[in-house]
Amino acid sequence: MIPEDDKEKRIQHKKTFSKEFSRRGFLKTSLGVGVGAAGAALFGSELMGGNVANAETVEHDTMPVEISSDYKRYSKTSLAPVLTSPGGKQYFGKRMGAIPQDGGEGWGPLEFAFDDACWSIENDINQYKATLGYKSQGLFSWEGKVNPNVYQFESPETASAVIKKAATYWGASKVGIAPYDERWVYSEVFDAKTDMPVPNELPFTPTHVIVMAFEMDYDGYQTAPALPQTASSADIYSNMGVTSHKLATFIRKLGYKCLPCSNDTALSVPLAIQAGLGEISRIGILVTPEFGPRVRICKTYVDMPLAIDKPVSFGVMEFCKTCMKCADACPSQALSHDKEPSFKVSTATNPGVKKWAQDGLKCITQWGAVGGDCGICIKVCPYNKKQEWHHDFVKLGARTPARPVLRFFDDLFGYGKISVEDALKKFWNK
C-alpha cells in the first residue's frame, strides 16, 4: 500500500518530467526536422549531402582574412582611450568596489561571493594584471629555469601531439599551433611598474606559438548581463593562469624556452585564427566550431620544433553577413550593422584588417553601466550552443546556402531570450 503523500509526489514528479521531456523533445525534433526539411526543400543536396564540400571545414594555407599591404603592428596603448573613458572608469570603479553596485537580479551577496571566488587566482596571484595585459605576471611569469638537457622529439608532429595532450589535460578546451608571426605582436605595451608605454621586446625570437581556447560556462553566460556571466569569464581567466603555468613548466623541463601570455604581448584572435581554432565574427572575437564565441584565449610562445595547424573556415563570416543577432541585441549598439566586413575602424580597433569594427567606447559604456562584462552578444549568438546533435546539425547548415533561415529558427525556439531571473534559477539549481 503506497501512502497518499508518496502517491501525490510520484504523480507530480511524473507530470513534471513528462512536460519537460515533451517540451525538450518537441523542440529538438522540430528544430532538426524543420531545418532539415527547409534545407532539403530550398537547397536540395547542398545541405543534405549531395555537395559535401559546401558543408565541410576548409583549411587554408594563409590567413582567411584580408589584410592590407600597409598593415602596421597594433600598440596595446591604443586601448587607453577606452580604459580611461567615463565608461571605463565606471566599470573599474564598480569592479574594484570604489563605486557601489546598484544591485538587482543576479547581483546579490551570493553572486558577489561566487564572482570573487572565480577571480581569486587571477586576483590573488596575478594581481589582475594578466587580464589587463601586463606581460610576465604571476603564473604567466617569463622567468623559469630551462633544463640544459634538451629533450629530442621523434618529429615536430610528435612534439605537437604531446603539447596538445598536455595542454588539454591541464584544462584547455582546444589547442592549435601557429608559426611565429611578428604582425600580431604588440608594437608597444604598458610597463607594469610605471604604466608608461614601452617598446614590446621579447627576450628571444620564438619559432612557434601554442594557442589555447578555454570554454566558458554555458549556463553562466545565459544569465548575461548578470554577475554569473562575468564570473564565468573570471573563472577561465583564473584557470588559464594555472594551465599556462603548468605548460610553461613542462616545456622548460624539456629544455625549451617559452613565454606564457594572457591578454598581453600579442593579439589573441588572429593567433587563434592562424592556429586553426576558429573564425573571426561580427562581434570581433573568435568563433569556434564547438563552442561558438564562448571561449577565452591565451597563448605561449616557444622556441621548440612543432608542426603547425592550418587556418580554417566553416561558414562563420558568411553567416554573420545575414544574421546580425548580436548587433541587434547589443544594448549600446557597439556592433556594426554593415552587411559586409570592411577596413573601417573605430576607437581602439586594429586597423588594416578587413572585419566588422566594434566600437570600444560604446562597449565599455555598457560594461560600466552594468558593472560587469555584459556578455549579451555571446549569449545571443546562434553559434553559442551546447554540443548536442540537433545543434551540430544546425551549425552544419550554417556552412551552406541554408544559412539565411537559421536565425529564424534560432529566434523561433527562443535561444538567447531567456530572462535573467529564469537563467539564474537554472544556473544555481542545475
> pLDDT of 240-250, one tens digit each?
999 999 999 99
Backbone angles phi, psi at 199, to 5 degrees: -60, 140
Question: Is the peptide bond between 225 and the residue preceding it cis, with omega within 30 degrees of 0?
Answer: yes
d(Cα 368, Cα 98) in Å, to the nearest integer? Answer: 13
Average pLDDT value over all residues in the chain: 87
Among residues 41, 29, 57, the alpha carbon closest in space to that of 276 is found at 57
Query: 3-class SS at 323?
Result: helix
d(Cα 245, Cα 172) in Å, to the nearest integer? Answer: 12
Summarised one tens digit per residue, pLDDT across range 290-345 is 999 999 999 999 999 999 999 999 999 999 999 999 999 999 999 999 999 999 99
d(Cα 124, Cα 260) in Å, to the nearest integer? Answer: 18
d(Cα 73, Cα 52) in Å, to the nearest integer? Answer: 38
pTM of the model: 0.87
The Cα-based distances of 114 to 104, 109, 231, 232, 285 in angstroms read: 16, 9, 7, 10, 26
The neighbouring-strand residues paired with 353 are 67
Cell of 248: 610553461
State the residue for C-alpha cell 532539415.
Answer: 36
Summarised one tens digit per residue, pLDDT across range 75-129 is 999 999 999 999 999 999 999 999 998 778 999 999 999 999 999 999 999 999 9
pLDDT of 146 over the 90 cut: yes
Angle at 340 between CA 334 and CA 344, to 5 degrees: 55
d(Cα 111, Cα 417) in Å, to the nearest integer? Answer: 21
Angle at 405 between CA 47 and CA 286, to 5 degrees: 85
Query: 3-class SS at 178?
Result: strand
